[in-house]
A and B are shown apart, each in its own frame.
Chain A
């Protein structure tokens, strides 16, 4: 009698888990405590271990699929044991599976092999055949969906077209990068930061569905702080070289007066280019990572403020930014900005330095994930060349939406920004 392996609650708050990778293939012998699979919970990648020994008769969930806690993911039984599903299904299933185990282990599970339905029924259905409409089968095949992981909503759990719309493709990624390489079962480790994917052709952004961890972070933080769970990172920047550079630029050309603010906009835009994780929008069920950099620039007006946008600020020269910033600020004060001119920012800057503010925190403009508050440039004693000297210093405080930007992510961005301002050549390098 085969024993069902279910998705276990591997963290106290885990409600569903994504099966990252199978560590045991169908037909392999497993002992109690053997790692069957790696599972991404809301916190980390954990190991799902065997609670009984025997032969892994069947994987009922494909790598890459997410299933609720307590759903069946596999069957363990005795060598040669017939899985109910096997009846009439020919090679690759049933009694022959165990014998062919070694050979099968080197292959990926063949998609057409119909295992028990993934419906969270307590016992595998008597027939074992997946009930799916002909259309659902065709579409699943075209899209590379594994019907074993789809919950059917039709009569007797039949999988129909609408059920596929909520399913995710059977991770081609599982075959693509890292996990394919043989690796000793690693101990617990944090989820590595996912690389930000390239946008689809013609799109200026790439949407990334929320991972289990990202969902969990978002849920918990919103409970704690409010709709936009914000935290703040402050750094102090030595502005001596920016000062020198600006003086040189003013001397070289007088028709456009480059301001510190222009330089900060340029530096922020250039740094965002290197830290796309901070150039993003929170979109409730996903994070939108922009591949274009549009900087919102908070401008105080008579009875409020508005944030006109300098588009593609990373690709503009300081002179262009300067001219545009002044033009937009003037329009803002005259209330002549068009909607086009004050929407679509991917990141914002608020500068109160000219009002003698040392440092402050700015409020994020949703759906943007970050805003940088810029304080005044003040002469302060600081370490320089091994001695304490009066230096022109400026404090930057970044407000981060924690659902999108984690502490280290924001810190690394600020580090780059600080480096650029302390060595302005890095901006054009």
Chain B
């Protein structure tokens, strides 16, 4: 990024900048969802957009996830580029039929004639004490579906660059933000900053073990890596950034250097994103492995409301450090 002017922004404002720049660039881009206009977004991602672009392009909807997701799919089929905001992905369960059965299938079922260039975005995963129904990581649900792309930025710069790329993508993109990340600050390149979809990123280089992670877990993994460095272990932190399509080349490259791997994710273990990552590694990098790949995931329970139980159920740096110790046979 040498020479590129950067501004320190929060993750929230980086998303706002991406929306604003893309809406200025392309009249077909519009934002729709609950409280995105007058209230400027439940998490203030759409601050100032109604003022700048007016109610035709920043559309407040009733509390009808299935309905406005369907309107978004239809608008995309008709040639617009809708950005559909879900207040959280927990509520988007009501709209999953539109994503799975309409958005993901349309290009295939129209023999390539009709695409759905829509972005469905909102926060996913757990925040603090929002209890079982509001603390869920659903990326593996959407990543399961051929026809959907699943993108999960972990930093402000990636949030901006990936959202801009998602809006320009000609196929439906499930864009899952981190509820706990909105206040995260970081340097963001000004102006035209595009992060390609499907490309993982080494957030910290290392030689002894690869920690694969995405979204909120990236910060946790970086903390673990810092702690491990103090113990003489050089951990590489690989941020997937895009869950689907999965950047297999980056995974294999990193594991080819470190020969040991821990996959961390916020969601549940069973059929989780990490299961797919492990599949790629064991299949394509079998001869590179010096130890079985281990996973660190959320506990296999509905998220407890109790503060201490919630903490115990979540992935933290200590759990990652412990798993790294095991793959290093320490």
Contact = CB atoms under 8 A, between A and B. Distances in A.
A158 B288 CA distance: 15
Contacts of A158: 329
A199 B259 CA distance: 33
B329 A134 contact: no
Contacts of B287: 134-135, 137-138
Interface residue tally on A, bucketed by range = 10 to 19
Contacts, number: 28
Contacts of B271: none
Nearest to A154: B329
A135 B288 CA distance: 5
Contact of B286 (A134, A154, A155, A160): A134
B288 A160 contact: no
B194 interface: no
B259 A161 contact: yes
10 closest cross-chain pairs (CB), A and B: A138-B287, A135-B290, A133-B290, A161-B290, A154-B329, A160-B290, A134-B289, A134-B286, A134-B287, A135-B259
B249 interface: no
B94 interface: no
Interface residues of B, number: 8
Contact of B329 (A135, A138, A153): A153
Interface of A: 133-138, 153-155, 158, 160-161
Contacts of A138: 287-288
Interface of B: 259, 286-291, 329
Contacts of A154: 291, 329
A133 B290 CA distance: 5
Query: What is the interface of chain A mostly: helix, strand, loop, or mixed?
Result: helix
A161 B259 CA distance: 9
A135 to B, nearest CB: 4
Contacts of A135: 259, 287-290
Contacts of A153: 329
Contacts of A133: 259, 289-291
Contacts of A160: 290-291, 329
B145 to A, nearest CB: 32
Contacts of B329: 153-155, 158, 160
Contacts of B290: 133-136, 160-161
A158 B292 CA distance: 11
Contacts of B259: 133, 135, 161
A135 B291 CA distance: 9
